[in-house]
Amino acid sequence: MAKHETPLLDQLESGPWPSFVSDMKQQAEVRAKNEAGVEFQIPQDAVEDLLGVLELSFKHGRTHWKHGGIVGVFGYGGGVIGRYCDQPQSFPGVAHFHTMRVAQPCGKYYKTDYLRALTKIWDMRGSGITNMHGATGDIILLGTTTPQIEEIFYELTHNMNQDLGGSGSNLRTPADCLGSSRCEYACYDSNALCHFLTNNYQDELHRPAFPYKFKFKFDACPNGCVASIARSDMSFIGTWRDAIKIDQDAVNKYVANDSAYPANAGAHKGKDWGPFDIEKEVLGLCPTKCMKFENKTLKIDNSNCTRCMHCINTMPRALRIGDDRGLSVLVGAKAPIVDGAQMGSLLAPFVEVNPDNDYEAITSIIENIWDWWMEEGKNRERLGELIMRQGFQKMLEVTGIDPQPQHVAYPRTNPYIFWKEDEVTGGWERDVVEYRKHHLR
């Protein structure tokens, strides 16, 4: 029998979607039965009490978690997030309920023995509840007590060769897509770059020295499977700068509705979308209208292509990304804490990805930006907010990137031009000055 009545939470289980409440009840039962004979280091009924305190929060319409004090592991300034309940007498199992962030492997590839070892530690020293994965990308271990934190850290680092992730005002655990490990569209090896930068910036990851949080995310192509453009202060999106490769035979197979060439790679099987129409589904949806199909030949004006991936996604057997590949760097995305949500702005349209020189072209941009932000950023000011406050032009100055028309967010809205005196080198202004000098007294 459940320890606490939870009528409000029970209601959340009634919808069509899987419910976290059902998962928590299942975990509470596992701990109550404890068939595995685990020696729990935090109370066996921690999950029951978690359900109880959540029910109370729903009833009162406010949280019962206090902003926790500082908890962490020796030598690190992040990776553990303190949580304390303000009703410890009623819910002793969650009196402390700290979260630990564990750095996820690039591409989130795991071996099953790794996952078993991790959950074994967490069953014994934590609540057993995990979040795979949190919004930052890490493995989130939810709920442990202060005395267990160093023990868990020791077991992770010494027995599993596993590091904690980032939290607080530091570099957050970098996160990436599968990249060239599995995806044919990958324009660079996002796993390799993410792994390199994670190792290269260990200090920034573990020792908070920034004005606020800072996130890197890596999408190996413009399809953006990790949505880096919306979720990271610095977003690295794969791209190419030569021509899209076209197989004209395959294009004509799509146009002829050959069953071996389904549009969108057959992604919408089971629904009849009618015959494929290249004019409507590809040419008409190209954002820059840079394609034409004449005399059974598809042509692309590559100088106007923005590499949005639409045509390639629609006819994947006919079109391929180009061969001269690299990435674009975007900056300033963030969630709506101050000034509302922001998407990333394009900073560098094409940067080479070269592991042989330790990705120098990329690290130099990163470090110039950090120097500026650490010097000028106010406490708890994200990079995107600093750009809004000091201007994108300042960002171009600190990174040494030449301005381009694409950097202009808003065209001028008034017709007046103010010249500095030293910019006036001649013309009618000089004539007026000369005339006044000689003829007016």
Binding range to ligand SF4, per CB under 6 A, among 3-11, 36-44, 109-117, 287-295: 287-295
Closer residue to ligand SF4 in complex, CB, 148/313: 313
Q: What is the closest distance, in whole angstroms, from the C-beta atom of residue 392 to ligand SF4 in the complex?
A: 24
Closest CB to ligand SF4 among residues 147, 287 = 287
Q: Which is nearer to ligand SF4, 8 or 300 (CB)?
A: 300
Helix, strand, coil proportions of the chain in percent (round to 5)?
40, 15, 45
Question: Exposure of 200 by Cβ count < 10 A (0-12 exposed, 13-18 middle, 19+ buried)?
Answer: middle
- Our CB check for ligand SF4 shows the closer of 286 and 330 to be 286
Site string for ligand SF4, 180-199 (x = CB under 6 A): --------------------
Which span sits near ligand SF4 by CB under 6 A: 17-25, 77-85, 246-254, 307-315? 307-315
Q: Which is nearer to ligand SF4, 278 or 383 (CB)?
A: 278
Quote the least distance from Cβ 342 to ligand SF4, whole Å.
Answer: 24
CA distance 372 to 213: 15
Q: Which residue in the set 266, 287, 355, 403 belongs to the binding site for ligand SF4 (CB under 6 A)?
A: 287
Look-up: residue for tokens 């109550």?
Answer: 32
Site size toward ligand SF4 (CB under 6 A) is: 13
Q: Kindly report the CA angle at 274 between 296 and 265, in degrees rounded to 5?
A: 70
287 vs 355 by CB, closer to ligand SF4: 287
298 binding ligand SF4? (CB under 6 A): no
Pick the stretch among 128-136, 286-294, 392-400, 421-429 that binds ligand SF4 (CB under 6 A).
286-294
Least Å distance, CB 224 to ligand SF4, is: 13
Q: Across the chain, how many H-helices and E-strands are there?
A: 15, 15
Name the residue nearer to ligand SF4 (CB basis): 291 or 348: 291
CB 62: neighbour CB atoms within 10 A? 10
For position 9 contacting ligand SF4 by CB under 6 A, the verdict is no
311 lies in the binding site for ligand SF4 (CB under 6 A): yes
Tokens 């004449």 sit on residue? 294
Evaluate whether 221 touches 229 at the Cβ level (below 8 Å): no
Contact status: 307 vs ligand SF4 (CB under 6 A): yes
DSSP string over 395-408: HHHHHTPPP-GGG-
Stretch near ligand SF4 under the rule CB under 6 A, chosen from 46-54, 150-158, 167-175, 303-311: 303-311
Distance CA 439, CA 418 (A): 27
Among 117, 308, 343, 398, binds ligand SF4 (CB under 6 A): 308
Helices (H), 355-420: 360-376, 383-390, 392-399
The backbone torsions φ and ψ at residue 125, rounded to the nearest 5 degrees and listed phi first, read: -105, 0
- In the complex, minimum distance from the CB of residue 258 to ligand SF4, in angstroms, rounded to a whole number: 21
Choose which of 310, 320, 394, 407 interacts with ligand SF4 (CB under 6 A): 310
Determine the interface stretch with ligand SF4 among 102-110, 265-273, 283-291, 329-337 (rule: CB under 6 A).
Answer: 283-291
307-346 as b/e, with b when 16 or more CB fall inside 10 Å?
bebbbbbbbbbbbbbbeebbbbbbbbbbeeeeeeebebbb
Q: What are phi and psi of 142, to 5 degrees?
A: -100, 110
Q: Which of 22, 26, 248, 306 binds ligand SF4 (CB under 6 A)?
A: 306
Give least dist CB 399 to ligand SF4, A: 26
Candidates 79-87, 185-193, 304-312, 397-405; binding stretch for ligand SF4 (CB under 6 A) = 304-312
**Least gap, CB of 298 to ligand SF4 (angstroms):** 10
305 binds ligand SF4 (CB under 6 A): yes
3-class secondary structure, 321? coil
In terms of Cβ atoms closer than 10 Å to its own Cβ (0-12, 13-18, 19+), residue 176 is buried
Please return the burial class of 51, using the count of CB atoms within 10 Å of its CB with bins 0-12, 13-18 and 19+.
buried
CA dist 98 to 27, 56, 180, 263, Å? 18, 19, 36, 48
Find the radius of gyration of the CA atoms of the chain: 28
Is there binding between residue 230 and ligand SF4 (CB under 6 A)? no
| Residue 309 interacts with ligand SF4 (CB under 6 A): yes or no | yes
**Region label for 296, one of left (φ > 0), alpha (ψ between -120 and 50) or beta (otherwise):** left
Beta carbon nearer to ligand SF4, 38 or 183: 183
* Site residues for ligand SF4 per CB under 6 A: 286-288, 290-291, 300, 305-311
